[in-house]
A and B are shown apart, each in its own frame.
Chain A
Amino acid sequence: MAKPKVATTSLCGCFGCHMSLLDIDDRILKLVELVDFDRSPINDIKKIEGQVDIGLIEGGCCNEENLAVLHEFRKHCKILISVGDCATNGGIPAMRNMVPLGECYEEAFLNGPTVVNPTGRIPDDPEIPLLLDKVYPCHEAVKIDYHLPGCPPSADTLWAALVALLEGREPELPYELLKYD
């Protein structure tokens, strides 16, 4: 029987959640035995190739590209998981939600202390994704099946959740795995 497929991506996150996934240490060998990876920064595949069993989303949605990727994941993944506080709540990037979008653009492209921009205009290059008016948690844009809190969720948390789902069980995480202080 073909191995279950897993895909991962980082939207508006810091890659800390992916680092945490790598922190499962030698269990990574077991993981590779258990699953095949579709699109993921781990293998640098840029587009989902087929049906995926479990998708892991790090980071919330701050721009049009994030949204497009999230849609791609939702369309292809049977189970979609928001991993970490950015994906579940918007997290640190959502601090910009207090600042009007115009000011964000101006700080980034016109007035910031390190900005050199002789055109004096906000760039309109299609390579630079348009920002959404606010940073949104993933479940506001698409239906999300599971939420794993933490910044980042610990390696043990990720491992426990993944293994349970791969074995067809509901993940039941003990208090220690969800407690952060």
Chain B
Amino acid sequence: MSANLQEAIGPVCESFGHDRTRLLDILLAVQQRLGGIDDRAIDAVAAELAIPRVDVAGVVSFYTFLAPKTRGQLVIRLCNDLPDLMMGAEEVAAGLEAELGIRFGETTPDGRFTLEWASCIGMSDQAPAALFGDVVVPRLTPGTARRLVAELRQQPPGADLHRLLVRAYGDGANAHDLVRAAVENNLRQAGEVIFAQAEPDAGLSKALAMSPAEVIREVKTARLRGRGGAGFPTGMKWEFVRAADGPQRYLICNADEGEPGTFKDRVILTERPDLLFEGMTIAGYAIGAEHGILYLRGEYAYLRAYLEHVLARRREKGLLGKSVLGKPGFNFDIRIQMGAGAYICGEETALISSCEGLRGDPKNRPPFPAQRGYLGHPTSVNNVETLCCVPRIIQRGSGWFASIGSRRSTGTKCLSISGDCTRRGVYELPLGTTLRDVLARCGGEDAVAVQVGGPSGRLVGPEAFDREICFDDLATGGSLVVFGPGRDPLWVASQYMAFFIHESCGYCTPCRVGNVLLKERVDRILAGRGEPEDLDYLRALATTVKTASRCGLGQTSPNPVLSVLDNFRPACEARLKEPFEGRQTGFDIAAKLAEAQRLTGRKSVHFDA
């Protein structure tokens, strides 16, 4: 190990107590110092922590934000989620490529800039958006993107680029000294629970006057269900954790918000951080945890200093730390764990792996996290919005909460609305609101299709617009993407499959391979080369992937394809071609000729490929 590498890496490992479970933080810090993590840095970290090299290399190769190869000093990650593509991300990309003289995936010869595509960065309401390093630059046009890059180029190395990148601050806490972001909240509708004005920490005081069992009972009577997507009853989850054996318990707040088109947790983190930490503290009290972890997605790194500041303030006020609010024996504190750009880390077992400093691979269940979670201890993983409901339930009572929404889906839901509508942003509405009502509010009445619940949810057409947004009908973790006239449902499915292919952790074959095959077949139909048998093939393969995949990603990834088959079948059938009798339908001639056409520069004389 060379002397200066050791000088850089030694202190970083030291600052994390040479704790192997903090490997992800260590590597993020090392990368910050060195600008990238090459083979020598991997060796050095492995030696310093006395762990096998492959453990370090595995983590580096897993996370998008960690770079096994050297990248430029400034990595520009342009979001390629559907709302971004619909708002012109490809034109922005062309502008960036022209200005920098490189393609996406490449680094400029002077080593200053790298261009990359990113999965949804949580800015769909202000698309197209990109991350320039940690800095979010929303609402890009080809012109502004080019100008920005040209200006950045003029800066001497090491200059502070923030001033150039952020010309005007967004509203609310986006303008806070520790945030200084151009991001807008676009909070269009504040509801009664999350975004209503409320007395700070009233819920916490009240909770600490109750017994943990009473707190859990209150949450159960409120019939609070998880807001992260799966809708599991929160009180029941806490009861399991509380009942599980073990000297310690953990509470993890899932702020990974990776489901494309979802950005409501960002707005909650920006505008209601105290409410969230209050909720985490109550949850910690209820389950008997002393440690809470906020797992913050890497894309939201710009919020970190601000959130740390809020935590520090709460510690000073005695709202965190030893004997919270003077309650003897209740000690609780929160640390922030940064993610590093992996959608799968939103899945709770993968999230736990990631907090443990491992690759973000999902774990087998059982045991469930409530039995054996973080470092083997009983753990409750809850979504940001779920935890924010808790102080309000305790403060105003479960009856009040249960009176909002519908019978089986109580409370409000924060919806992130983007795409072809005039008023994109966050809407906090009672559960049970119809899709038609939502579309009217956001100016998306002429929608031909709406993706409810992100790629893993479903794509529905106008015949479903009278259905309700709630756990028992159109369930959603919060994402609603509106598609206006002229948008093609098959294109939507194809794009979402590309997302899943990129984000699959690769552990199991049905998901790793199946998603690729699904996309290939969808693309063939899209190109007008589909045959009637393709529809049966797609359904059969989609079913296999769903049933044979290990975690929630693969179990839901075929949903875009199934949605199109179920809800937009005529659009598919209209493009199918009847093959002549005796042809094998799976044999895609155009695909097999594509390479030769590229190499020779001519078209096939026999086939329309």
Which residues of A pack against B, CB within 8 Å?
64-65, 67-68, 71, 74-75, 80, 101-102, 105, 122-124, 126, 129-134, 136, 139-143
Complexed CA–CA distance, A139 and B586 (Å): 11
CB-based contact A122/B600 at 8 Å = yes
CB neighbours (8 Å) of B582 from chain A are 74-75, 80, 142-143
CB-based contact A140/B584 at 8 Å = yes
Given contacts A67-B607, A143-B582, contact A130 B587 (CB under 8 A): no
Closest chain-B Cβ to A67's Cβ sits at a distance in Å of: 7
Taking CB as reference atom, which chain A residue is nearest B586? A140
Which residues of B pack against A, CB within 8 Å?
580-584, 587, 589, 591-597, 599-602, 604-607
CB-based contact B599/A134 at 8 Å = no
CB-based contact A132/B583 at 8 Å = no
CB-based contact B596/A132 at 8 Å = yes
Task: Supply 11 further A-B pairs (C-beta < 8 A) apart from A132-B593, A142-B583.
Answer: A64-B589, A64-B607, A101-B595, A101-B599, A102-B599, A129-B605, A132-B592, A133-B595, A139-B584, A143-B582, A143-B583
Complexed CA–CA distance, A92 and B383 (Å): 59
CB neighbours (8 Å) of A131 from chain B are 596
Contact of B596 among A68, A80, A101, A126 (CB under 8 A): A101
CB-based contact A105/B604 at 8 Å = no
CB neighbours (8 Å) of A140 from chain B are 584, 587
CB-based contact A126/B602 at 8 Å = yes
Closest chain-B Cβ to A72's Cβ sits at a distance in Å of: 10
CB neighbours (8 Å) of A65 from chain B are 606
Complexed CA–CA distance, A39 and B500 (Å): 50
Closest chain-A Cβ to B220's Cβ sits at a distance in Å of: 58
CB-based contact B597/A130 at 8 Å = yes
Given contacts A64-B604, A64-B605, contact A133 B596 (CB under 8 A): yes
Complexed CA–CA distance, A143 and B586 (Å): 11
CB-based contact B584/A126 at 8 Å = no
Complexed CA–CA distance, A62 and B591 (Å): 14
CB neighbours (8 Å) of A75 from chain B are 580-582
Closest chain-A Cβ to B603's Cβ sits at a distance in Å of: 9
CB-based contact A123/B580 at 8 Å = no
CB-based contact B600/A124 at 8 Å = yes
CB-based contact A124/B601 at 8 Å = yes
Closest chain-B Cβ to A102's Cβ sits at a distance in Å of: 6
Closest chain-B Cβ to A111's Cβ sits at a distance in Å of: 14
Complexed CA–CA distance, A102 and B606 (Å): 21
Contact of B592 among A126, A133, A139 (CB under 8 A): A133
Counting chain A CB atoms within 10 Å of each CB, the highest count among B583, B592, B594 belongs to B592
CB neighbours (8 Å) of B599 from chain A are 101-102, 105, 122
Complexed CA–CA distance, A131 and B584 (Å): 19
Of all A-B residue pairs in the complex, the 10 with the closest CB atoms, nearest first, are: A68-B606, A130-B596, A124-B602, A74-B582, A132-B592, A124-B600, A143-B582, A64-B606, A131-B596, A101-B595
CB neighbours (8 Å) of A64 from chain B are 589, 593, 604-607
Closest chain-A Cβ to B199's Cβ sits at a distance in Å of: 67
Could you list some 6 contacts between A and B, CB below 8 A? A74-B580, A74-B581, A75-B581, A122-B600, A130-B596, A141-B584
CB-based contact A143/B584 at 8 Å = yes
CB neighbours (8 Å) of A105 from chain B are 596, 599-600
Complexed CA–CA distance, A102 and B584 (Å): 27
Complexed CA–CA distance, A124 and B605 (Å): 11
Closest chain-B Cβ to A130's Cβ sits at a distance in Å of: 4
CB neighbours (8 Å) of A133 from chain B are 591-596
Complexed CA–CA distance, A118 and B582 (Å): 44
CB-based contact B587/A141 at 8 Å = yes
CB neighbours (8 Å) of B595 from chain A are 101-102, 133
Complexed CA–CA distance, A74 and B582 (Å): 7
CB neighbours (8 Å) of B591 from chain A are 133
Contact of A134 among B589, B592, B597 (CB under 8 A): B592
Taking CB as reference atom, which chain B residue is nearest A139? B584
Closest chain-A Cβ to B375's Cβ sits at a distance in Å of: 47
Closest chain-A Cβ to B529's Cβ sits at a distance in Å of: 14
CB neighbours (8 Å) of B593 from chain A are 64, 130, 132-133
Taking CB as reference atom, which chain A residue is nearest B583? A142
Contact of A123 among B592, B600, B607 (CB under 8 A): B600
CB neighbours (8 Å) of A67 from chain B are 589, 606-607
Taking CB as reference atom, which chain A residue is nearest B597? A130
CB-based contact B600/A71 at 8 Å = no
Complexed CA–CA distance, A140 and B356 (Å): 48
Closest chain-A Cβ to B578's Cβ sits at a distance in Å of: 14
Complexed CA–CA distance, A65 and B589 (Å): 12
CB-based contact B583/A130 at 8 Å = no
CB neighbours (8 Å) of A101 from chain B are 595-596, 599
CB-based contact A141/B600 at 8 Å = no
Closest chain-A Cβ to B477's Cβ sits at a distance in Å of: 40
Closest chain-A Cβ to B591's Cβ sits at a distance in Å of: 8
Complexed CA–CA distance, A129 and B600 (Å): 10
Closest chain-B Cβ to A144's Cβ sits at a distance in Å of: 9
Closest chain-A Cβ to B565's Cβ sits at a distance in Å of: 26
Complexed CA–CA distance, A143 and B584 (Å): 6
Complexed CA–CA distance, A74 and B591 (Å): 21
Closest chain-B Cβ to A101's Cβ sits at a distance in Å of: 5
Taking CB as reference atom, which chain A residue is nearest B587? A141
Complexed CA–CA distance, A148 and B595 (Å): 31
CB neighbours (8 Å) of A130 from chain B are 593, 596-597, 600, 602, 604
Complexed CA–CA distance, A122 and B600 (Å): 6
Contact of A68 among B584, B592, B601, B607 (CB under 8 A): B607
CB neighbours (8 Å) of B580 from chain A are 71, 74-75
Closest chain-B Cβ to A84's Cβ sits at a distance in Å of: 20
Complexed CA–CA distance, A132 and B588 (Å): 11
Closest chain-A Cβ to B484's Cβ sits at a distance in Å of: 38
Complexed CA–CA distance, A142 and B582 (Å): 6
Closest chain-B Cβ to A24's Cβ sits at a distance in Å of: 28
CB neighbours (8 Å) of A134 from chain B are 592
Complexed CA–CA distance, A142 and B592 (Å): 15
Complexed CA–CA distance, A131 and B600 (Å): 10
Closest chain-A Cβ to B581's Cβ sits at a distance in Å of: 8
Closest chain-B Cβ to A51's Cβ sits at a distance in Å of: 13
Closest chain-A Cβ to B189's Cβ sits at a distance in Å of: 53
Taking CB as reference atom, which chain B residue is nearest A130? B596
CB neighbours (8 Å) of B596 from chain A are 101, 105, 130-133
